[in-house]
Amino acid sequence: MLDLQGYGPRLIEGAGVTLQLAVLSLILAIVLGLLTATAKMSRNWLLHRTATVYTTVIRGVPDLVLMMLLFFGGQIGVNAISDMLYDNYNIDIYINFNAFAAGVITIGFIFGAYMGETFRGAFMAVDNGQIEAGKAYGMSSALVFRRIRFPQMMRHALPGLSNNWMVLLKTTALVSVIGLTDMVRVAAEASRATHEPFVFLLPVAAVYLLIASVSEWIFVRLQKRYDIGFGGQ
Partner 1 sequence: MCGYKNVTTSALGGNEMLDISAWFNDLLAGNLIFTPTTLGYYWEGLVTTTQLVFLSLIAGLVLAVPLAIMRSSKHKWISLPIYFYTYVFRGTPLLIQLYIIYYGVVFIDGIQETFLWPLLREAFYPALLAFTLNTAAYTTEIFRGAIKTTSKGEIEAARAYGMSDSLMMRRIILPSAFRRALPAYGNEVIFMLHASAIASVVTLMDLTGAARFVYARFYAPFEAFLFVAAIYLCLTFAILYFFRFLEKKLLAHLRPQTN
Taking CB under 8 A as the binding criterion, the range among 31-39, 58-66, 119-127, 139-147 that sits at the site for partner 1 is: 58-66
187 near partner 1, judged by CB under 8 A: yes
Q: Residues 179-182: contacts with CB within 8 Å, 24+ apart?
A: 179/71, 179/99, 180/17, 180/21, 180/99, 180/100, 180/103, 181/10, 181/13, 181/14, 181/17, 182/14, 182/15, 182/17, 182/18, 182/21
3-class SS at 61?
A: coil
202 near partner 1, judged by CB under 8 A: yes
Euclidean distance between CA atoms 86 and 48, whole angstroms: 37
60 near partner 1, judged by CB under 8 A: yes
220 near partner 1, judged by CB under 8 A: no
191 near partner 1, judged by CB under 8 A: yes
117 near partner 1, judged by CB under 8 A: no
66 near partner 1, judged by CB under 8 A: yes
Residue 91, burial from CB neighbour count under 10 angstroms (0-12, 13-18, 19+) = exposed
193 near partner 1, judged by CB under 8 A: no
| Gyration radius (Cα) of the chain, Å | 22
Could you say which of 31, 49, 53, 62 contacts partner 1 (CB under 8 A)?
Answer: 62
Euclidean distance between CA atoms 48 and 56, whole angstroms: 12
Helix spans in 149-182 (H): 150-171, 175-178
3-class SS at 36?
A: helix
201 near partner 1, judged by CB under 8 A: yes
Between 9 and 62, whose beta carbon lies closer to partner 1?
A: 62
Which of left, alpha, beta for 180 (phi over 0: left; psi -120 to 50: alpha)? Answer: beta
23 near partner 1, judged by CB under 8 A: no
Could you say which of 48, 135, 149, 170 contacts partner 1 (CB under 8 A)?
Answer: 170
197 near partner 1, judged by CB under 8 A: yes
164 near partner 1, judged by CB under 8 A: no
Minimum distance, C-beta of residue 88 to partner 1, in the bound complex (Å): 22
Could you say which of 1, 46, 65, 228 contacts partner 1 (CB under 8 A)?
Answer: 65
81 near partner 1, judged by CB under 8 A: no
Helix spans in 98-149 (H): 99-125, 128-136, 141-144
Residues that bind partner 1 (CB under 8 A): 57, 59-66, 68-69, 72-73, 76, 166, 170-174, 176-177, 184, 187-188, 191-192, 195, 197-198, 201-202, 204-205, 208-209, 212-213
